[in-house]
Chain A
Amino acid sequence: MLRGLDLWIGNGATAILGPSGSGKSTLLRLLNRLADPDKGVVSFRGRAVRELDPLELRRRVVLVPQLPAPVPGSVADNVRYGPRLLGREVSVERPLVLAGLDASFAERDAAKLSVGEQQRVMLARALALEPEVLLLDEPTAALDEDAKGAVEEALAGLAGISMVVVTHERGQAERLARRIVRIREGRVVGEDGATEGRAPGAAREAAPRSREDGPTEVAP
């Protein structure tokens, strides 16, 4: 799926842009260790993710899946799900509002919401863990235009959380991210936008290097 990929992702919002089947989703799954590469190293803040506790990593780097997959129960049950795994109780309202839903959603049955609302519940559920990084896998692919606008607006309003947004849509990449990395057939083919002081294209270098300054790095 991914071959010879060398990519450094800094803080802030980064979009991974590419056609379907280019390995974008696979890349996201490597970043929170839902999968491991056959070869190569994925590092987070200077440490190989294989050395980190996978459960802790997934709470710091939280993936919002492409299709909503709510747990059975109310919206509040969904928002509380992650923190409760740690025995932690959180405010339901705050993440809901951040995700663009008002507090009245809390007691509604998550399964009965529209797909767009469910997708924002997925976002709220991720935010309830207070992550350092959000991984967004085609966050609006299943949504109509209105719902898409609402989700994008919620994402754009998030401050202090780094984001990696995977999308096939250039417009969305431009709206949500400062840096856009284009991938095709499992390789980085170019990039646009601010690159944290690095020249465009410089992300494609052969040898894995150790960098302490960025959150996430993938090397072949």
Chain B
Amino acid sequence: MTTVSISLGEVVATLALVAIAAAVSFWRRADLEQDLGLAVLRSFLQLTAVGYVIQAIFDSDSLWLVAGLLAAMVAFGSITARGRARAVPGALGPIVLALGTAAAVTIGLVLALGVFDAEPRYLVPVGGMVIGNSMTSAAVALNRLADEVHSGTQQIEAMLALGATSRQASRGLVTRSLRSGMIPLIDSTKTTGVVFFPGTMVGMLIAGAAPIDAVRLQLILLWTLLGSVALAALIAVSLGYRGFFTPAHQLREAATA
């Protein structure tokens, strides 16, 4: 396998481009310099720390450590998604289940199909991408769900008033929310390679891989993500809608306020 070595000096040199961003912000008074600084600092610290963690896991070659790392990612991802979907009552449970299931099923399937070997070198990056994308789709879908409930209160209550269960009354909006969780990745998959080069392919090309190998790995990852994102959004909205209702099939007051 080809390896590339990147010096800290090369990384520091790229700060020149961050300086452009800071200059733009300062010049147009966008007031983003502080955020920018924080983003640069956090990305440096977080990625460096993760780099050492991954290195340690690679060195140990322990699948248990991989499982632990992925579980931690599910936990952090769930808390982040919960923060973005604050308008959904009791969303944490559905989110944890959505991310956990999406990760377990996706990784289980790619291993079972023989796409990747059960080695930390594959499991860590693939797991990270799956969990990260699942988190985004679950959060987007739940946010949409909250919007749909708020704007559709009348319609929902009209259905409940005719004897519909909360599940029956939310069927349409659950479907629309699922769609909104799945559409961004489907769209970016459609335009991939034309409008933008996805990160994995870029990384492999820079690392010296043959373009066709880079493309194949990218396809594997994109298609894997399509599956996991759909699962995550489906589980999140299928369980998440319940937070808006009482067991007696009433819309909670917080949801209608």
Contacts and interface: CB of A to CB of B under 8 A. Distances in A.
Q: Do A and B bind each other?
A: yes
Contacts of B251: 34
Contact of A85 (B155, B162, B250, B253): B162
Contacts, number: 58
B246 to A, nearest CB: 8
Given A55-B165, A85-B168, A129-B162, A69 B250 contact: no
Chain A interface category by residue count: 20 to 34
Contacts of A54: 248-250
A82 B162 contact: yes
Contacts of A156: none
Given A33-B250, A36-B250, A54-B248, A82 B154 contact: no
Contacts of B161: 32, 34, 58, 62-63, 65
A86 interface: yes
Given A33-B250, A36-B248, A69 B162 contact: no
Interface in A86-114: 86
Contacts of A32: 161
B164 interface: yes
B154 A56 contact: no
Given A54-B248, A85-B168, A34 B157 contact: yes
A82 B169 CA distance: 11
Most buried by A among B154, B157, B162, B164: B162
Interface string A101-142: 000000000000000000000100110010000000000000
Nearest to A63: B161
Chain B interface category by residue count: 10 to 19
Nearest to B164: A85
Interface string B24-66: 0000000000000000000000000000000000000000000
B69 interface: no
A85 B155 CA distance: 16
Given A65-B157, A67-B154, A85-B168, A33 B163 contact: no
Interface string B156-197: 011111111100100010000000000000000000000000
Given A69-B155, A72-B172, A122-B158, 4 more contacts: A34-B157, A58-B160, A85-B163, A86-B163
6 interchain residue pairs of minimum CB distance:
A69-B158, A82-B162, A63-B161, A59-B163, A54-B248, A69-B154
